[in-house]
Amino acid sequence: MTAKPSRSPQRRPFSGWLSRRAGWELWGLVVLALLVLGGLGACSRSGDVWSAPVEVTEVAAEVDVEDGQGAEVSVTPATKEESAAPSDEYRRPPAAELRRRLSPLAYEVTQRGATEPPFQNAFWDHHEAGLYVDVVSGEPLFSSRDKFDSGTGWPSFTRPVDPGRVRTLPDTSHGMQRTEVRSAAGDSHLGHVFEDGPAPSGLRYCVNSAALRFIPLERLEAEGYGRYVSAVGGEGSREDRAAASFGPSAQENSCVAPSAAPGAATPGCTTTLETALLAGGCFWGMQEILRAVPGVLETEVGYIGGKTRKPTYEDVKTGRTGHAEAVRVVFDPARISYAELLEKWFFRMHDPTTKDRQGNDVGTQYRSAIFTTSAEQARIARETKARVDRSGKWAAPLVTEIVPAGPFTPAEDEHQDYLQKNPGGYSCHFLRD
């Protein structure tokens, strides 16, 4: 019988084993160096403020790999700008998400550069302490501490809360030379900045409410804006802010008193959108029809035309305040004119021949009325009413009132978009042929 050959393992030369061991030790040193540098990087941050960055150079090592060939391995640790820079905190969502998430008005303003109507927006007369952020990206833009009454009907600020959060571009639209203001991360159109603001900056950032979301002071920590608490200030700063904001110079600007000279250095302000204030019975049914009209960007129900300050539904329903239930309609005149809105929609959705009544709802709060915001609106409303009256579509004369608009008080939340929240709820409104 032939003996089987020995299968004992062959030993490698000691020198080869040592070379590989040295290589692995070098690898270990590289990994250790990275861990140390990473730890130093983490320690270089104190609270929410970064210390002066330490320049980090590439680390290279000769490593003896398995096949005995040398290879250079370069490692560049991440700097603070690459890992946790403020610009990375806020991002512009994809276009489809913007369409889904933004209201039609906010979309028109931030994405198409529209300008909302003055005095008929959320924040023009808003004085609560807090932070105004981009409705698109959430990046912080303006502090309530820097807000002032410019008399323009739009929210106005003397400066951004962080200059790096806004950028400016030349704007020659509407025959004027202005400076547009956009958010840095969200690239949202915010408004314009003018050099006619109060001291000390001399600037007036004229901003659309629809481009902003407001976060009250007490909510800043909870919503991740804690580092801006000091920039906003507390309750004690309101008196100082009011004293600085309502001085005589605050309303001396080109939007309140625009220059009539062509190409003037101090341009006036113009809105690309318009507001209609319409009353025709219970505002639930009116809003449900108006919100779907092509060219209408925003609707809000509320009270107008009365003598009580800050009326509530409980006040108005008694019929003793003089208010009418009404709908505030923001629309794009490039897509639907004021006359079309009245003739093709308003005068068809309710019965304008019944005084102080619509269906089962009786009282002055249910009257038919058009509250005009300008002399031009009043002229168009009178002409449209007369045209509808002559058409013979209604058997009786129209009793719709046409009066200048006074203060509009938004109704309580439960009345906003009521029929969206309560499908099949009460309504006496429908479009007549």
Catalytically annotated residues: 206, 282
Q: Are the C-beta atoms of residues 271 and 116 closer than 8 Å to each other?
A: yes
Four-point Cα dihedral 10, 12, 14, 17, nearest 10: -140
Q: How far apart are CA 432 and CA 156, in angstroms?
A: 43
Helix residue ranges per DSSP H, 185-282: 229-232, 237-245
Q: How far apart are CA 347 and CA 338, in angstroms?
A: 12
Which of 303, 412, 413, 416 shows the shortest CA–CA distance to 366?
Answer: 303
Listed in sequence order, the residues at least 6 apart from 64 whose beta carbon sits closer than 8 Å to its beta carbon are: 19, 20, 22, 23, 26, 70
What's the DSSP call for residue 93? P
Contact 376, 382 (CB under 8 A): no
Structure-block tokens of residue 383: 């002409």
Contact 208, 121 (CB under 8 A): yes
Cis peptide before 118 (omega within 30 of 0): no
The full DSSP string for 47-91 is TTEEPPPPP---EEEEEE-TTS-EEEEEE----HHHHS-GGGT--
Task: Give me the residue label for tokens 């571009």.
Answer: 169
Token pair 């579509």 in the structure block, residue: 393
Q: Which of 105, 141, 149 has the alpha carbon at shortest distance from 123?
A: 149
